[in-house]
Amino acid sequence: MSKLWVMLAVTLSCIVVDAEPPARSGRDGGREANRGDRRTHRPGSHFKQAEIESLISKLCKEIAIYRTSCAGIAEFSSFSRDLQNFGSTLSGLKSGLGRGFESCGPDLRRAIREYEILDQTFQSSLSTHKNYKVRLGWSKIKTAYLRFNFAATGGRSL
């Protein structure tokens, strides 16, 4: 009788075990997830940190040159302050890169937003300025920014 009970219990246990999916380790689960997301692209993954930092430096340098060369132009003063703030944001982003690119998302988004506002401002008030320096400087900053943006975002909008 007791043997019968034991067999019955073992049979039930097997049924229960078969009914549940096999336990998967976290690594397996993660691997499966990664395989299902092969086309995801991590921003900045194709550019080295030093490369992005270099592009930020170039952009900051262009900003500084632009501000200095247009320092005496009255209409430029407000724009220059905004440019300075943009430069500060870029500097902050550059220093933040040291902690890893993943943590710089907010700073990067902020920099992009500030650039877009600056571009709008420039287009609305300074794009037809008679002094060529005002337009040339911004054109050069725009080129530098495009390089930085492409390196930092891979051409994706964040």
CB atoms within 10 A of CB 122: 21
Q: Which is nearer to other proteins, 6 or 117 (CB)?
A: 6
In whole angstroms, the minimum distance from the beta carbon of 55 to other proteins comes to 12
Q: Which is nearer to other proteins, 4 or 132 (CB)?
A: 132
Residues that bind other proteins (CB under 8 A): 6, 9-10, 13, 17, 22, 31, 34-35, 38-42, 45-46, 68, 71-72, 81, 84, 132-133, 135-136, 139-140, 142-143, 146-147, 150, 154-156
In whole angstroms, the minimum distance from the beta carbon of 13 to other proteins comes to 6
In whole angstroms, the minimum distance from the beta carbon of 10 to other proteins comes to 6
Judged by DSSP in three states, 43 sits in coil
Distance, in Å, from the CA atom of 66 to the CA atom of 109, rounded to the nearest integer, reads: 23
Q: Retrieve residue 142's tokens.
A: 């725009």
Burial code (b: 16+ CB inside 10 Å, e: under 16) for 12-44 equals eeeeeeeeeeeeeeeeeeeeeeeeeeeeeeebb
CB 156 within 8 A of CB 43: yes
Q: Which is nearer to other proteins, 34 or 117 (CB)?
A: 34
In whole angstroms, the minimum distance from the beta carbon of 80 to other proteins comes to 8
